[in-house]
Amino acid sequence: MAINAVVLTTGKVLLFSYPRRDFAEVDYGAATLWDPVLGTGPDAFTDVPPPIDPDTGRPANIFCAGQTVLADGRVLVAGGNLAYENATNRNYAGLTRAYLFDPVTETWSEQPQMRQGRWYPTLLRMADGRVAVASGLNERQDGGTNRDLEVFTPPAPGASQGRFDLVGGPDALGSPGRPPTPALYPHMFWMRSGRGLVAGPSPRDTWFLGAPGVDDSFVWEDAPDLSRRRSYGAAVPLPGGPQGPTQVLQTGGYGDDNASTATAERFDETDPAAGWTPAGPLVTARTNQNTKLLPDGSLVTIGGGVGAALWTATDAQRAVELWDPATDRWRTGPAQQEFRAYHSTAVLLPDGRVLSAGDDVNTSADPVTGEPRDGNLVDTAEIYSPPYLFRGPRPQITAVPERVTLGSTFKMRHRVPAGGRPVERAVLVAPSAVTHSVDMNQRHVELTVVRQAGRTLRLQAPPDANAAPPGPYMLFLLDADGVPSVARFVEVQPA
């Protein structure tokens, strides 16, 4: 079940959740690798179960965890499901455990535990490579949200263990003089200004996080409130050129009336007085939709449902929507075969296509038969090909450095096939790490083309770690018609 999805530096996709094929026993986790190079048959999938949880003797139940990609390409997974709701207790409980997944060895390693459990946390990789961890239900199954702000420091070179540091003391969030405790799976982005932006989904869950120090302290600033609650909506850091993102776009979700909305709003940190301003609305109101940055700077929204009825969708939500940055308008595209709402995921693949997967049972009734539309407990996936893949031959990257340093220039080589257009742009897109419509690693950074001589391009790397936090990125070339190459992974290193 692809409830969590992460694109790896090997080009494979890590998918994990609880095991849908064993629905009666969901107290353990399951994880699978999909290799797009091998197609979509059984041979393309490899099980990589999480480590054994000593408390259960079974693979750790990392369903409902948060995840992101570290600077060295490993995946950090923090939290998960300790206990489900039941007849006498309608609350869930979060795991205190954390793990790293190595995409090269395809193995897991356990990390130190967090102070409290986290069910539905968000992980934010900062400019210095550390990861801020916020929110999630605690381990006590009392409905309480974890109020700790913790920071994970990755293992030093040659070491196997990182560490979690409690910042600001126990239960710092929500205490007097401190920012509010964000709702579950908050939207968090590292911005051009060198701050983390917490942006909903609740209207007042909006504040800036300064890079936490090593002295048990952190700095925060208030930020303008959202215009409305956007539970299970999507949020994206918009492309901001070579300097990195200054704007965030929020779309859809449901509010106090429990109904989906098609409205959208954006915030620009360079003009905070303007607050969140209206943006071009979706064509169809959606909740639990996935919105992806595409190489050409446009967006695609996939799937979604009809509101607080999380498992319910209609034919309207099956159609994808495409956003044009030049007009700030959305238009509909082709429809998926499956309804994909709650627990659906979508990621941009290195070949420019988009994987759409996950989803639970769709409980909406067929208008003719009155039967549930989708009672299938077997997970499926679909692959969407955006319009830019039908505009002509694709440029090809023939040579590129494995590593580039922030602030430097570097050379790469390419070729334009017969009938293709000249290359005009180069961009970095961070690999997705998504669950519950929250992508914890999405980013698009334009590279300046310094010089082009025949097949050789000289490119300017991002200026600093606030523009592009160090780590792996997919490098795409785009021709004059916006047709992208197949990406090559490059590691962006600090100066």
Query: How high is the pLDDT of residue 310?
Result: 82
* Percent of the chain clearing pLDDT 90 (strictly above): 82
Query: What CATH number labels 393-493?
Result: 2.60.40.10
Query: How high is the pLDDT of residue 24?
Result: 47
- Residue predicted with more confidence, 367 or 320: 320
Above 80 in pLDDT, residue 65? yes
Torsion of CA 114, 119, 122, 128, to 10 degrees: 10
Query: How high is the pLDDT of residue 214?
Result: 57
Query: How high is the pLDDT of residue 26?
Result: 60
Tell me the average pLDDT of the chain. 93
CA distance 197 to 122: 12
**Which tens digits make up the pLDDT trace of 409-463?**
999 999 999 999 999 999 999 999 999 999 999 999 999 999 999 999 999 999 9
**Which tens digits make up the pLDDT trace of 152-200?**
999 998 889 999 999 988 999 998 888 999 999 999 999 999 999 999 8
Sheet holding 122-125, edge to edge: 122-125, 131-134, 149-153, 163-167
Query: How high is the pLDDT of residue 216?
Result: 60
**Mean pLDDT, residues 467-471 taken together:** 98
Strand pairing report for 149-153 and 131-134: antiparallel
Q: How many CB atoms lie within 10 A of CB 451?
A: 11
The topology (CATH level 3) of 1-177 is Methylamine Dehydrogenase; Chain H (2.130.10)
**Which tens digits make up the pLDDT trace of 225-239?**
999 999 999 999 999
Above 80 in pLDDT, residue 466? yes
**Mean pLDDT, residues 464-475 taken together:** 98
CA distance 483 to 495: 31
Ordered by start, the domain boundaries in the chain are 1-177, 393-493
Above 90 in pLDDT, residue 74? yes
* Residues linked to residue 4 through DSSP beta bridges, in sequence order: 16, 435
Above 50 in pLDDT, residue 22? no
